[in-house]
């Protein structure tokens, strides 16, 4: 696997490729840290799933520790782990390492379908279409995973945390996980992940919103945030399991999702 912005533009925009200024292509390559990303992929070539994640963390010098109800998580069958999403990349990689060490292999992670392009993690990721209708096959795969015994992880916000009034936190959590947990009889495990992105990232995101631009342009800076965090140590705080019998779905699902979100931030 290799990242090649120029090749992607040539393939996806064949009619317009020759009109794209070369300096713009080079800017995109630098912005997404193409050279550093490819070196990291080269070093971890041949690794997959949790082993790939551990290779990435080792390459970046990233460490993590877990506290709270870790033993209860390990002893909980078929957990649905829900977490805040402060980083937009490394938090997912660390979570895969943590969950596989705590609950064993076989976990699945519900993610934006665009992330399926990360081939070494295709055995862990379950795609969710955030920008259109979910395909019948993708919906069936999610339902099958929910019915299985595999530990499942999801970031219910659906996108990386934002800064509002000086505080970094997730936006509104989507209610899907509540109804899915009830339907599949899965206990929900609230987890808080420490950390934040750079001030530049949040300032750019807020400026983009004030300009009325809908597309999340700031996502192009997430690779830079990954390398900025090199050498960091993160803390994972695990809350008590919430049995499906205590979850309220249907019309109350949004309120339940908001309550679980509050529990997550209370763990910080």
- Euclidean distance between CA atoms 177 and 195, whole angstroms: 23
Q: Cα-flanking dihedrals φ and ψ of residue 127, to 5°?
A: -75, 140
Nearest of 186, 192, 189 to residue 240 by alpha carbon: 189
Helix (H, G, I), strand (E, B) or coil at 130: coil
Helix (H, G, I), strand (E, B) or coil at 262: helix
CB 70 within 8 A of CB 209: no
Nearest of 69, 108, 124 to residue 242 by alpha carbon: 69
pLDDT computed for residue 11 by the predictor: 87
pLDDT computed for residue 117 by the predictor: 80
Count CA within 13 A, CB hemisphere, residue 203: 3
Residue ranges and CATH numbers for the domains of the chain are 48-266 (3.40.1130.10)
pTM over 0.75: yes
CB 108 within 8 A of CB 153: yes
Whether 262 has a pLDDT exceeding 70, the answer reads: yes
pLDDT computed for residue 185 by the predictor: 97
Give pLDDT tens digits for 109-140: 999 887 888 899 999 999 887 655 666 888 88
Per-residue pLDDT band at 9 (split at 50, 70, 90): confident
What value does the mean pLDDT of the chain take?
A: 94
Give pLDDT tens digits for 49-104: 999 999 999 999 999 999 999 999 999 999 999 999 999 999 999 999 999 999 99
DSSP 172: P
Contacts of 244 (CB under 8 A, 6+ apart): 181, 182, 184, 185, 186, 187, 188
Whether 23 has a pLDDT exceeding 60, the answer reads: yes
Contacts of 242 (CB under 8 A, 6+ apart): 187, 188, 189, 190, 260, 263
Q: What is the mean pLDDT of residues 167-171?
A: 96
Residues constituting the chain: 268
- Euclidean distance between CA atoms 118 and 243, whole angstroms: 33
Helices (H), the chain: 5-12, 22-31, 34-43, 49-60, 70-75, 90-103, 136-147, 176-184, 199-210, 222-228, 253-266
CB 50 within 8 A of CB 100: yes
Q: Cα-flanking dihedrals φ and ψ of residue 149, to 5°?
A: -95, 0
CB 104 within 8 A of CB 148: no
Query: How large is the greatest C-alpha to C-alpha distance in the chain, in angstroms?
Result: 59
pLDDT computed for residue 131 by the predictor: 56
How much of the chain exceeds pLDDT 70, in percent? 98
Give pLDDT tens digits for 181-220: 999 999 999 999 999 999 999 999 999 999 999 888 999 9
């Amino acid at each position: 696997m290799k990242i090649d912005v120029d090749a992607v533009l040539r393939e996806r925009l064949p009619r317009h490729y020759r009109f794209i200024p070369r300096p713009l292509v080079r800017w995109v390559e630098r912005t997404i840290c193409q050279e550093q990303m490819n070196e990291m992929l080269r070093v971890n070539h041949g690794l997959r799933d949790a082993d790939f994640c551990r290779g990435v963390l080792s390459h970046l010098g990233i460490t993590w520790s877990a506290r709270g109800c870790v033993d209860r998580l390990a002893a909980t069958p078929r957990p649905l782990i829900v977490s805040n999403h402060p980083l937009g990349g490394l938090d997912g990689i660390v979570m895969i390492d943590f969950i596989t060490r705590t609950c064993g292999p076989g976990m699945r992670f519900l993610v934006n379908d665009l992330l399926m392009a990360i081939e070494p993690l295709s055995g862990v990721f379950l795609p969710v279409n955030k920008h259109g209708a979910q395909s019948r096959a993708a919906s069936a795969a999610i339902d099958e995973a929910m019915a299985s015994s595999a530990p499942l992880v999801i970031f219910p916000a659906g996108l990386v945390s934002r800064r509002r009034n000086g505080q970094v936190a997730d936006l509104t959590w989507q209610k899907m996980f509540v109804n899915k947990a009830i339907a599949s009889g899965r206990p929900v495990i609230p987890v808080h992940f420490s950390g934040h992105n750079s001030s530049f990232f949040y300032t750019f995101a807020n400026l983009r919103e004030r300009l009325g631009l809908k597309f999340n342009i700031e996502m192009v800076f997430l690779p830079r945030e990954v390398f900025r965090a090199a050498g960091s140590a993160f803390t994972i705080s695990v809350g008590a399991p919430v049995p499906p019998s205590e979850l309220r779905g249907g019309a109350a699902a949004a309120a339940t999702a908001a309550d679980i979100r509050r529990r997550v931030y209370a763990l910080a």
